[in-house]
A and B are shown apart, each in its own frame.
Chain A
Amino acid sequence: MKPTYSLFFKDAKPEQLESLGGKGKSLASMSQADLPVPQGFCVTTDAFVAFIQDLMTAKGLFASLAKLDTKNMGSLDKLSGEIRSQILNKTIAADIQEDILASYRSLCEMYGKEGDLPVAVRSSATAEDLPDASFAGQQDTYLWVVGEDEVLSHIKMCWASLYTSRAIAYRKDHNIPEEDIHMSVVVQKMVNARVAGVTMTLNPTNGDRTKIAIEASYGLGESVVSGTVTPDNYLMDKVIFELVESSIQDKKIALIPDPANKRVIEIEVDPVKATEACLTRDELIFISKIAKRIEKHYGCPQDIEWALDADAEGEEAFTLLQSRPETVWSNKKTETKKHYMSGMQGLVGSLINPLSAKK
């Protein structure tokens, strides 16, 4: 049977997860838990193995690697350079290429684009091969990659990143056979953030877990995270999804992507728009609902980075960028706990204490 060279996150079956590498596997599991990560696919380890085996065998490179003395920096660098240039220059076999491009075309279609959807291309190594992230080529992330040819060449750039001098030396030193190494590449839709922000699945001011705190501003989330803009602040009830409090700020600037130059630029927000709430009530509700789902998935309060993608509408626009466990309140146990009165004592207390003071 023909191996699967390309797999959408949402389509990977349990037995296929290993072929997606660490990052791919995590994206697949989030995607399949209906967590709204940006859509995308993995070029599987099978594709890598087929491509590399072909290349290495044809050029006798496995033999050269076997003979290599890693102490000799000159020859290490030379071989590393040769392998990487061979990878970049070799055409990917037709059957593999077909699979990858079919996936890319589907991804384009999902967002109504004709073959020009900007994507991020990232290497997704398997942990056993590369226990240390710095060797993993995890830094190999290419943003705003557009078009079929570009996608293919950036995949090869990810593959090639496995053959830096350091990576080769590391494997040699740890007796990891070259024939066994695997790598997957993640191809994921670039988020074109119209609004972005951070959401906590509790009230950060008092630890109340029945609230969801949302901070948001226009453009990419970096401005919220880095604090260059005072974001709008909303407090939602987590149970009935009603807006409890909000404070709308003057969000004068926004960071937006400049795909042509593959960078981020700062723009001034229209003054009227700047002082309006950047999220609608419906958006607040679905952001809260999704945040609640993410919290449930991970089983503890979360601190979530997200964006609303300008290329999608309604709830579909919500994109999960990162979710980490909330640490401040989750680790605080009972130190500041109040004592509540029950029964008639409690009832008397409630009657005597002005109710309006509690509002």
Chain B
Amino acid sequence: MTDKKKKFISPYEHTAPKGSEGWKELYPYFLVFQEQLKEQEEDKFFFCDSQHWPNVFKPFDAMTVEFAVKCLSQYNSRHYVIPPANGVDFKIHNGYCYMSPVAVSPELIEGRVPEFMERAGYYFQNWNELLENWHKKVKRVIDDMESIHFEPLPDRVDIQAIKGGVGLDPTFQMINDYNKLISLCYETWQYHFEFLNLGYAAYLDFFGFCKEVFPGIPDLSVAKMVQGIDVDLFRPDDELKKLAKLAISFGLEKCFEKKDVNEALHCIALEENGGQWLQAWEKAKHPWFNYTSGNGFYSSDKYWIEHLDIPYGYLKNYVEKLQRGEVIDRPTEALEAERDRITTEYAESLDDEARAIFEGKLGLARVVFPYVENHNFYIEHWAMGVFWRKTRELSRMLKEQGFWQQESDMYYFRREEILQVLFDYGNSWAVGVPAVGPAVLQEEISRRKKIVDALATAPPQPAFNNPPKVVTEPFTIMLWGITTEAVESWLGGDEKSSHMKGMAASPGLVEGYARIINDASELDQLKQGEILVTRVTAPSWAPVFNKIVATVTDIGGMMSHAAIVCREYGLPAVTGTGSASTQIKTGMKIRVDGGKGTVEILEELVEA
């Protein structure tokens, strides 16, 4: 062990890259480390959450961490009163986000138990009904967002508004709609955590029990016993597979030789059964193409429904595979049989009393766990997909009004700054003078772009300040895979090594050539049989899992997206290696042992 009394640097000593001066103004004042609070902040241990937010935030996008982590926290601290855990403190530093779990003082824990029992107990007992209601609420939020439209202001107030004695103008509606959209996004994040923390709590309970009665049980075994087989998160990919099979059965293969999605769809329309196939394609789109190749936290995420070339690329690949006689289905039956075998064997080794408890805990974990896997589709993909689409609609409209030159420019402003822009627009419309924004905003956008680009030149620090002796906060371990060992390895992780250790996230031993993917846009570089090495994967990368033979990530625990998807696809995965994506280079031959959680560089690159 490297216990040389090492600690991480203070964020106050961590300088920003050149060219990023003034970066703090891009984010809310309470989300950056303030000089006045130096002593207080340096007392906390922060780790970088690059699992959810791997890239530098544009100012508008910082809203995602603000809403998400605030809502996560409120459910711990105020809704369910989780005995040992309050919320998670969070800050943005040099463009990246850092988390600091807030523990409950030991003397207060016991007193919180009765409240937790009552509150969480109610949810566990009424899980299915409450969850059904959750689906309704989320669907309503999505519908409400869909109903919002941002259009240029008309020349005159509609005559009907005059005759109806409405007494309001379209700017009033526009500003209301903007506020409503932000508020619906906030509401989305409330619901996101309504069930998630409890889902993790039940999982942890089963996990802890297994660790006790089967000392040394691999984490993977626990995950496998709980894991769902038919998960909504995989539906988009499954829909593509169905479409691929339908295309083959209709004899539409030749249309899939086309590179361009529109050409392919045109070709299909002209075929005999083409109409029927296109109907199936349309049906699959809603809602399953509300699916991002990112993770839903960035305005730059590309959603399938707006970029049909993405699902088409996967679909084309499936059609080709089917033509070659390859199997494209996930081995669901085998996974189910394996899950049953594993569960039965562990259960059988227990005496009757312990077995009854095992089964009780497993039962609860299995009731709640589908939410842990599925919520992602409904929130990050579907709801956030609609949210980002609507914000783009607004940005596009304002672009057309001359406020900026690119659709993505709006995201260089904080969300409350957009209100000013809307007032500027509405004001100019009312007064009958040109808006000020078009004359001045572009310069500010360019300045901010430079700052964001400069911040992106430096990777985040793994952590700040003094690490705790032992990481005990249950959600930190579960969600982020931050364990005492992980923190230790970051501290000692300066020296280069051909051996890397991470979490044994999905079993199997594979050797192959690595490809480093830094961003979803690079996914098309992946070649059949390569090993995906990346900071973090998003679940929507699922279709590439048919191409690759293993996954290695820097960040993530047993329940990280990469881990879940790899187990589902039967691929080896090592997550949470800390630095694999920088230590390994594309083209290196590596060995991934998903059972042991190790990655080894077998062949260094030959310098050209």
Contact = CB atoms under 8 A, between A and B. Distances in A.
Contacts of A209: 349
Interface string A227-271: 000000001011110111100000000000000000000000000
Contacts of A281: 509, 593, 595-596
A211 interface: yes
Contacts of B212: 338, 340, 358
Interface in B295-335: none
Given A237-B221, A351-B82, A346 B509 contact: no
B345 interface: yes
Contacts of B349: 208-210, 238
- Among A243, A342, A355, max chain B CB count under 10 A is at A355
B517 to A, nearest CB: 28
Contact of A348 (B116, B221, B484): B116
Contact of A347 (B84, B205, B213, B346): B205
Contacts of B224: 240
B345 A244 contact: no
Interface string B188-203: 0000000000000110
Nearest to B116: A348
B504 interface: yes
9 contacts: A208-B213, A210-B217, A211-B215, A344-B120, A346-B209, A346-B357, A354-B470, A355-B207, A356-B483
B471 A356 contact: yes
Given A210-B349, A211-B215, A240-B507, 5 more contacts: A237-B218, A240-B224, A337-B353, A344-B124, A356-B483
A72 interface: no
Contact of A359 (B120, B211, B361, B507): B211
Interface in B323-364: 341-342, 345-346, 349, 351, 353-354, 356-357, 360-361, 364
B157 interface: no
B595 A353 contact: no
Contact of B201 (A208, A238, A351, A357): A351
A352 interface: yes
Interface of B: 82-85, 109, 113, 116-117, 120-121, 124, 201-202, 204-205, 207-209, 211-218, 220-221, 224, 341-342, 345-346, 349, 351, 353-354, 356-357, 360-361, 364, 470-472, 474, 477, 483-484, 504, 507, 509, 593, 595-596
What secondary structure prevails in chain B residues at the interface with A?
Answer: helix
A89 interface: no
B213 A358 contact: no
Contacts of A340: 209, 212-213, 353-354, 357
The range of chain A's interface size is 35 or more
A60 interface: no
A239 B342 contact: yes
A240 B116 CA distance: 35
B218 A244 contact: yes
B504 A347 contact: no
Contacts of B218: 237, 240, 242, 244
A209 B224 CA distance: 19
B509 to A, nearest CB: 7
B234 to A, nearest CB: 22
A343 interface: yes
B209 A206 contact: no
A353 B208 contact: yes
A354 B361 CA distance: 18
A242 B220 contact: yes
B290 to A, nearest CB: 34
